[in-house]
Amino acid sequence: MADVLPLVEARLRSALGEPDARAAVTFLGTDRIEVLRFPAAGQEGDVVRYATLGMSAQPMADPTAVLADPVKGPRAELVLSVRSGAADTDKVLRPLAVLAASPQVEGVIVAPGASLDVGEPLWPGAPFTSVLVAEPGGLVEDLELDAPLDPVRFLPLLPMTPNEAAWKRVHGAPALQERWLNHGTDLRDPSRRSVPLD
């Protein structure tokens, strides 16, 4: 069976350009997770993107299943886009790796609409400790793999303040995204305030 990760990296490079930095993190009992940094380029000259590489090496397993299927199951990588220069966002590499390792460590399936919390600021001084997983397909197209493997989906992450995360738990992800939209929230601003929630 073909190694998935070279195909994933090729898809990331074709969509986002050449990475200018990468970091690797290995957690006890898990596969190595890399985070690639793609510098600001093109029309969005001030947006830097961080993408995980390694999460999709294994399919995510249903936590209620007795045995994990080594072949079938959803596969994903995470992509975070933030404006560069306003905060030390390069420190997000380890938190992103932690989130990418969560299917192996905690047996969770990461899917659109989910909240992921790292329990500490995503980078020094960040007003966010968690992210909302958004719908894939906009920035990096799904990577189709040979059957019976599921495609790799590239899931955008939207940073949430603690208040937004609490509000989302009550009202749901679509309601929070609608509120962001209605208030013209710049979700790539690394130091933005919480959207009004009353």
pLDDT attached to residue 182: 95
Give CA–CA dist 17/45, Å, rounded: 13
For residues 114, 120, 123, 127, the Cα torsion angle rounded to the nearest 10 degrees is 80
How many C-beta atoms surround the C-beta of residue 174 within 10 A?
A: 10
Q: Is the pLDDT of residue 44 over 60?
A: no
- The b-or-e profile of 112-125 (16+ CB within 10 A means b, else e) is eeebbebeebbbee
| Residue in this structure with the two tokens 């938190």, named with its chain if needed | 95
Residue 54's pLDDT band, with cuts at 50, 70 and 90, is very high
Using the CB atoms, write b or e for 70-84: b if 16+ within 10 Å: eeebbbbbbbbbbbb
What is the pTM assigned to this prediction? 0.92
What pLDDT, on a 0 to 100 scale, did the predictor assign at position 175?
Answer: 95
Which alpha helices (DSSP H) does 34-190 contain, by range?
A: 93-106, 162-171, 173-182
Q: What tokens does 4 get? A: 């998935």
Highest mean pLDDT among 60-64, 132-136, 193-197: 132-136
- Tens digits of residue pLDDT in 120-130: 999 999 999 99
> Which of 104, 182, 167 is closest to 130 using CA atoms?
167
pLDDT of residue 188: 93
Alpha helices in 34-143 (DSSP H): 93-106
For the chain, give every domain's residue range: 4-182
Q: Which uninterrupted H or E stretch holds 38?
A: strand 33-38
Share of residues in the chain with pLDDT > 70 (%): 92
Instruction: Look at residues 89, 95, 70, 74 and name the one whose alpha carbon lies nearest to residue 155.
Output: 74
pLDDT score of 42 more than 60: no
Residue position matching structure tokens 């793609």: 38
Contact indicator for 127, 189 with CB cutoff of 8 Å? no
CA dihedral of residues 18, 19, 25, 30 (deg, nearest 10)? -30
pLDDT (tens digit per residue) in 69-90: 667 889 999 999 999 877 888 8
